[in-house]
Amino acid sequence: MGKLPPQALEMEEAVLGALMIEKDALTTVVDILKPESFYKDAHKEIYRAILDLFAQSEPVDILTVTQQLRATAKLEMAGGPFYITELTSRVNSAANIEAHARIITQQSIKRELITIASEIQRDAFEDTTDVFQLLDRTEQNLFTISESNIRKNFADMRTLMQQAIKELEAKKDHEDGLTGVPTGFSALDRITSGWQRSDLIILAARPGMGKTAFVVSAMRNAAVDFNMGVAIFSLEMSSVQLVNRLISAEAELESEKIKKGNLAQYEWEQLHYKIRNLESAPIFIDDTPALSILELRAKCRRLKAQHDIQLVIIDYLQLMSGDSSGKGGGGNREQEIASISRALKNIAKELNIPVIALSQLSRAVETRGGEKKPQLSDLRESGSIEQDADMVIFLYRPEYYGITQDESGNPTTNMGEVIIAKHRNGSLDTVQLKFVGKFTKFADMDTGNLSPFGSATFPEMNAIPSEFDMPPGTITLGSRANRGVPPSSGPAPDDNPPF
């Protein structure tokens, strides 16, 4: 027995008949059905005629539909006046028209999937087919079917108000007012409310400013502190090198010691204690060299579907390659970078997640006098980067250029500036962060202890009660290091204190 494409001819006839006997029926299905949703060509033409009449604010009935088809020379193709009249006899009302329309749409989606599958099979047998282009085209076609057939309907004000109040109540638990993916830097989060969904963020700086250190710190904060999935595509460093940076920053051990493995026993204990947070963090690292935009798009879709990632980081943009077919750039590097930046913005919108792309700045910064702060015009190789980005952030460390004081006379030692030069949905500002070079990390300016055994390393040490928390009558003894200093209470320490 042969096979017929999925279809629902009886439903199609019932829907068209209902549209011609009730004038308001079309408003129920106009956002569900398209002419292409119908299997029978005659039904496609009749539905097009009904849509044309609706667009012209004309009444829809047997006579007007017949006249519209006659005017467009499609009456015979649609089956003639007798067939159109016969359709109205199939139904008595439009009571179930929405349910019928959804069944027609489901059959249409099945036919589209069969078409795509046939094209995949045909192209896969061709020796000249680029397999990565075929994968990308297939994923894009499937996404297009999903987007075009699953439409969002309108909502009444009562429903929207309830949803808005529910979101506000959820936000009140977040004192910092975060609405996006947190950066972990309080001053930056106050301005941006976190990395916003569907935004393309360009982080640009000259070499040596700490671009990778900044995004690794932000990535760690989102994944460890807020348990949000993060994917980083490292085109410059290997995955192991990147993990070593994470270990150095998390355990607060000097990167040189991590590189050489020259650690004391207490440092090994400190390392193993601290990396427990990293082991369970939802961080996914890909160090594929010269990653193409086609591969990136496919991998991001897969990570979003399998692990629900909330943030994508590319380190860095200029190391990516454009369309492998060579059609996009035409040998022009500026056009290739432009196509890459547009593709990154499309990925952010398609997956509804923020995408952070690191970028190099031109050497014009070095030749400029004064503070050598970067500007938007310094973005390298393409002005389209500035155009496509929702936010452009520059990293600037005055200490790198031998500037020891800022404009207010404050020291610039271990200080980095995050300059928000473009912010499509917010204000422009400059945020100061602490740059800890030996740990290759950024932190808030007001964060405390960075010593190996400080509270930042072993939080449970903060649980030791102070003298004010101790019960009455407790004797507090001074330490050997404070010999000669009167204790807070009790007698002076003797030569053999109990501990």
Distances (CA, A) of 461 to 356, 402, 451: 36, 38, 13
CA angle 355, 218, 221 (to 5 degrees): 120
- Count Cβ atoms within 10 A of the Cβ of residue 183 and give its class: 0-12 exposed, 13-18 middle, 19 or more buried: buried
SS3 assignment for the chain? CCCCCCCCHHHHHHHHHHHHHCCCCHHHHCCCCCHHHCCCHHHHHHHHHHHHHHHCCCCCCHHHHHHHHHHCCCCCCCCHHHHHHHHCCCCCCCCCHHHHHHHHHHHHHHHHHHHHHHHHHHHHCCCCCCHHHHHHHHHHHHHHHHHHHCCCCCCCHHHHHHHHHHHHHHHCCCCCCCCCECCCCHHHHHHHCCECCCCEEEEEECCCCCHHHHHHHHHHHHHHHCCCCEEEEECCCCHHHHHHHHHHHHHCCCHHHHHHCCCCHHHHHHHHHHCHHHHCCCEEEECCCCCEHHHHHHHHHHHHHHHCCCEEEEECHHHCECCCCCCCCCCCHHHHHHHHHHHHHHHHHHHCCCEEEEEEECCHHHHCCCCCCCCHHHECCCCHHHHHCCEEEEEECHHHHCCCECCCCCECCCEEEEEEEEECCCCCCEEEEEEEHHHCEEEECCCCCCCCCCCCCCHHHHHCCCCCCCCCCCCCCCCHHHCCCCCCCCCCCCCCCCC
| Options 22, 86, 236, 267, the catalytic residue | 236
Give the Cα separation of 374 and 360 in Å (integer).
11
What b/e readout covers 379-414, taking b as 16+ CB neighbours within 10 angstroms? Answer: bbbbebbbebbbbbbbbbbbebeeeeeeeeeeebeb
* 315 in Cβ contact with 358 (< 8 Å): yes
381 a catalytic residue: no
Catalytic residue set? 236
